[in-house]
């Protein structure tokens, strides 16, 4: 009974305005409906982050091809989202965290009182990213070609390449770009996404996520199952 009285005194469980520290009244905080978390962040905003990065991946790939070949295209999908990029960011967050809070799944690699400098931690984080990009591209590209005969990309002509699927310059550029994103953009953006009402998040995740995932799965089935890999549209600028 005493706890309930104390809760009411603090405004818990009521819709009344709560007094703020500055003397002004604040509206009561709405409880989150979907509270399932993956480490620090909830799943709903994390999935929206994946969708955002899928769009960014589509744009980045086309910018690269525009600069190299003078062409942009659909990247073998109907929608301008490359869900593999969203999955990559999600896996990166789950497995190694961010440069500020590097971990291996749930195990933090460095304590707060660690003597290792911040610069050394960032270098280690980048090395993990570089190795993941360098060998991940080779393994995935080779696997797809072996299963379906489809060559997803070809870095022939780029110096310091290792097979057609990876090279030092591309792995370096991707790993640095991803590290900068995880350091300066990921956490601030996640804080913004966390503030979106759950019903809005759920609507966006379902309304946009379902078509994006279906589009990605159809592409995988056609490519891996039937060896079909065609762009739906292409624009050549030069």
pLDDT digits (tens, 9 = 90+) for 27-80: 555 666 778 889 989 999 999 999 999 999 999 999 999 998 999 999 999 999
- Looking at the structure, tell me whether residues 9 and 44 fall in a common domain: no
The predicted pLDDT at position 16 comes to: 47
Distance in angstroms (rounded) separating the CA atoms of residues 48 and 81? 12
pLDDT band at 106 (very low <50, low <70, confident <90, very high): confident
Which residue stretches of 18-99 are H helix? 43-69, 83-96
Judge whether residue 5 has pLDDT over 80: no
- Looking at the structure, tell me whether residues 47 and 11 fall in a common domain: no
The number of helices, as runs of H, and strands, as runs of E, in the chain is 8, 11
- Does residue 198 lie in a domain region? yes
Judge whether residue 190 has pLDDT over 60: yes
- Looking at the structure, tell me whether residues 65 and 149 fall in a common domain: yes
The predicted pLDDT at position 2 comes to: 43
- Looking at the structure, tell me whether residues 20 and 45 fall in a common domain: no
The predicted pLDDT at position 15 comes to: 44
- Does residue 143 lie in a domain region? yes
- Does residue 238 lie in a domain region? no
The predicted pLDDT at position 60 comes to: 93
- Looking at the structure, tell me whether residues 43 and 13 fall in a common domain: no
Q: What is the mean pLDDT of the chain?
A: 87
Q: Which of 32-36, 83-87, 225-229 has the highest mean pLDDT?
A: 83-87
The predicted pLDDT at position 29 comes to: 58
Distance in angstroms (rounded) separating the CA atoms of residues 181 and 232? 30
- Looking at the structure, tell me whether residues 2 and 100 fall in a common domain: no
- 126 in Cβ contact with 96 (< 8 Å): no
Residue 104 sits in which domain range?
38-231
- 215 in Cβ contact with 222 (< 8 Å): no
pLDDT band at 94 (very low <50, low <70, confident <90, very high): very high
The predicted pLDDT at position 183 comes to: 93
- Burial zone of 58 (CB within 10 Å; 0-12 exposed, 13-18 middle, 19+ buried): buried
Cα angle 225, 88, 68; round to 5: 80
pLDDT band at 171 (very low <50, low <70, confident <90, very high): very high
What is the total count of domains within the chain? 2
Predicted TM-score of the model (pTM):
0.81
Cα angle 87, 92, 94; round to 5: 95
Distance in angstroms (rounded) separating the CA atoms of residues 41 and 54? 19
- Looking at the structure, tell me whether residues 16 and 76 fall in a common domain: no
Task: Tally Cβ neighbours within 10 Å of residue 66.
Answer: 16
- Looking at the structure, tell me whether residues 47 and 25 fall in a common domain: no
SS3 state of residue 197: coil
Of residues 15 and 58, more confidence is placed in: 58
- Does residue 220 lie in a domain region? yes
- Does residue 237 lie in a domain region? no
Give pLDDT tens digits for 117-156. Answer: 788 888 999 999 999 999 999 999 999 999 999 999 999 8
Please report which helix (H) or strand (E) contains residue 175, including its range: helix 168-184
């Amino acid at each position: 009974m005493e706890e309930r009285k104390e809760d009411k005194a603090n405004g818990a469980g009521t819709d009344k305005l709560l007094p703020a520290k500055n003397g002004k009244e604040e509206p009561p905080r709405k409880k989150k409906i979907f509270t399932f978390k993956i480490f620090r962040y909830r799943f709903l905003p994390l999935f929206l982050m994946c969708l955002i990065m899928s769009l960014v991946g589509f744009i980045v790939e086309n910018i690269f091809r525009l600069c190299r070949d003078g062409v942009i295209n659909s990247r073998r999908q109907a929608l301008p989202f490359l869900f593999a990029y969203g999955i990559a960011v999600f896996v990166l967050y789950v497995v190694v965290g961010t440069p500020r809070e590097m971990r291996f799944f749930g195990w933090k690699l460095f304590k707060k009182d660690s003597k290792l400098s911040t610069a050394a931690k960032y270098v280690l984080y980048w090395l993990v990213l570089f190795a993941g990009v360098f060998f991940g591209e080779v393994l995935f590209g080779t696997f797809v070609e072996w299963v379906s005969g489809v060559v997803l990309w070809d870095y022939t002509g780029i110096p310091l390449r290792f097979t057609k699927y990876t090279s030092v310059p591309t792995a370096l550029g991707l790993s640095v770009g991803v590290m900068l994103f995880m350091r300066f953009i990921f956490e601030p953006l996640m804080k913004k996404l966390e503030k979106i009402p759950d019903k809005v998040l759920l609507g966006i995740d379902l309304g946009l996520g379902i078509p994006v995932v279906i589009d990605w799965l159809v592409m995988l089935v056609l490519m891996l199952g039937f060896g079909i890999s065609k762009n739906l549209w292409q624009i050549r600028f030069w």
